[in-house]
Amino acid sequence: MLQILKNKFIFLKVSSFILLSFFVLPKVFADEARKDVMVITVNGAINPVSAEFIGKSIRKANDKKGEALVIELDTPGGLDTSMRNIVKEIVGSQVPIIVYVSPSGSRAASAGVFITLAAHVAAMAPGTNIGAAHPVGLGGGKIDKTMAEKVTNDASAYIKSLAESRGRNAQWADDAVRKSVSATESQALKLHIIDLVAPDLKSLLEHIDGWKVRMAYGDRILHTKNAVVTREEPGLRNRILNLISDPNIAYILMLLGFYGLFFELTNPGSLFPGVIGGICLILAFYAFQTLPVNYAGLLLIILAIILFILEVKIVSHGILTIGGIIAMVIGSLMLFESTGPFMKLSLAIVLPAVITTTLFFTTIISLAFKAHRRKPVTGHEGLIGTVGTADTDIQTDGGTVLLHGERWAAYSDEPVAKGERITVEMVSGLKVKVRKAGST
């Protein structure tokens, strides 16, 4: 009997274990098979804002110990310092970084070439291109021949080291810097600039599954076929900062800042224009830190505003206004120095801005100047020069007059008969000094 009970107990124990395995083991294997791939999209110029977003995303992927981070890239280029910060984050990452130039019609130009070549896996979508990485000077400004050679040599050495470290075509990378060569996605694959061409993200992850990539801390096998894709979007702060880093937006913010502060100075106590103007000006100066600003252009714009102000106070027959318009147009065109159109002001923005600024300052200042010269119409000052009627005979010792229907105590240096028209010369407390109207 005991043996039967013992056998039954063993049977129940084995059965429970088998049943439990049906529920627990699939979950364990599923957890082990689960791989996370983070995806971010970088669309636009490479600047401190995009560098911050990419760096933050790489650190987050490292903290989560994800399988990989995919950067969907479409950029015309950008700032050298921001590009180098991104490259350092990619090289030092413990998670494989995949740069995917997509969607079709996108490009990885200038700074984008460095970022793509630095990636552990470089891929492109059909209908994309890469190249033209010749440096245009620090901040996009003009540089002399000697300095240009130094900058070019430095960029060449940097991009060749990136290409060699990833086993890619270092000679083409050097030509991209020195000769501004470009390549389509099929040419890039043939020249071994990139690792593959993929029509979409899903096919990209399936294709690289099982690939071995060289990391800073050793080789790593990618398991991306069944990965769970999560997209990381830039926060509100990054979106706002990226928006104002556009040259056209920064230019408009600067002008709005000048408008607001000037309106506040000419109309003390308005508050709202001054607050908004101050905020706009601070945002504009922040944006200027991320852009290749030519301060000669900025000074010309400030000079133009000064000329508009002087036009109201000095009779120049329009010469100052014309000078202001010329200074503002030239200053606006000079404000941002870059060979790339994405770092230049649009004429569709400059011309309306110049016209608006001219009208704003000449109109506002003219009205303020006229208001300043206008005779006061209220208070004691408003009574001076007012014409009224003598209510009584007025002698040096006093009398009364009617002014705007009000009776005032008055005195005069000359006798004034009752009913005569008088003019107020001076107000002293509640008493006015008058003279006969028409007399001097």
Per the annotation, the verdict on 56 as an active-site residue is no
- DSSP lists the bridge partners of residue 75 as 108
Which two three-digit tokens encode residue 325? 């318009």
Task: Tally the residues of the chain.
Answer: 440
CB 262 within 8 A of CB 361: yes
DSSP symbol at 298:
H
Pairing of strands 218-221, 212-215: antiparallel
- Cα–Cα distance measured from residue 100 to residue 70, given in angstroms and rounded to the nearest whole number: 7
Domain with CATH 2.40.50.140 in the chain: 379-436
- Cα–Cα distance measured from residue 216 to residue 218, given in angstroms and rounded to the nearest whole number: 6
- Cα–Cα distance measured from residue 131 to residue 147, given in angstroms and rounded to the nearest whole number: 22
Write the CB contacts of 433 (distance below 8 Å, at least 6 apart in sequence): 410, 411, 412, 413, 424, 425, 426, 427
Q: What is the pLDDT of residue 153?
A: 92
Nearest to 350 by CA among 365, 374, 330: 330
- Cα–Cα distance measured from residue 217 to residue 223, given in angstroms and rounded to the nearest whole number: 18
Q: What is the pLDDT of residue 367?
A: 66
At 105, the amino acid letter reads G
Which two three-digit tokens encode residue 176? 């991209």
pLDDT tens per residue, the chain (440 residues)?
545 545 554 545 545 555 544 444 444 444 444 578 999 999 988 988 899 999 999 999 999 999 999 999 999 988 888 999 999 999 999 999 999 999 999 999 999 999 999 999 999 999 999 998 877 644 444 556 777 788 899 999 999 999 999 999 999 999 999 999 999 999 999 999 999 999 999 999 999 999 999 888 888 999 998 889 999 998 888 888 888 888 889 899 998 988 888 778 767 777 788 889 899 999 988 888 777 788 888 899 889 888 877 876 776 777 888 888 888 888 888 888 765 556 678 788 888 888 888 787 777 666 666 655 555 555 556 677 788 888 888 877 788 888 877 888 888 888 888 888 888 888 877 788 888 887 66
Cα-flanking dihedrals φ and ψ of residue 109, to 5°? -105, 160
Among 150, 179, 190, 431, which one carries the catalytic annotation?
Answer: 150
The third-level CATH classification (topology) of the domain covering 379-436 is: OB fold (Dihydrolipoamide Acetyltransferase, E2P) (2.40.50)
**Residue 124 Cα to chain centre, angstroms:** 28
Nearest to 72 by CA among 108, 96, 47: 108
Domain with CATH 3.90.226.10 in the chain: 32-235
CA dihedral 184, 188, 189, 192 (to 10 degrees): 170
Pairing of strands 68-74, 97-101: parallel
- DSSP lists the bridge partners of residue 189 as none
Cβ contacts of 314-321, under 8 Å, gap ≥ 24: 321/358, 321/362
Among 50, 110, 156, 245, which one carries the catalytic annotation?
Answer: 110
Q: What radius of gyration do the chain's Cα atoms show?
A: 38
Please tell me the class of the 32-235 domain. alpha beta
Per the annotation, the verdict on 150 as an active-site residue is yes
Whole-structure pTM over 0.85, yes or no? no
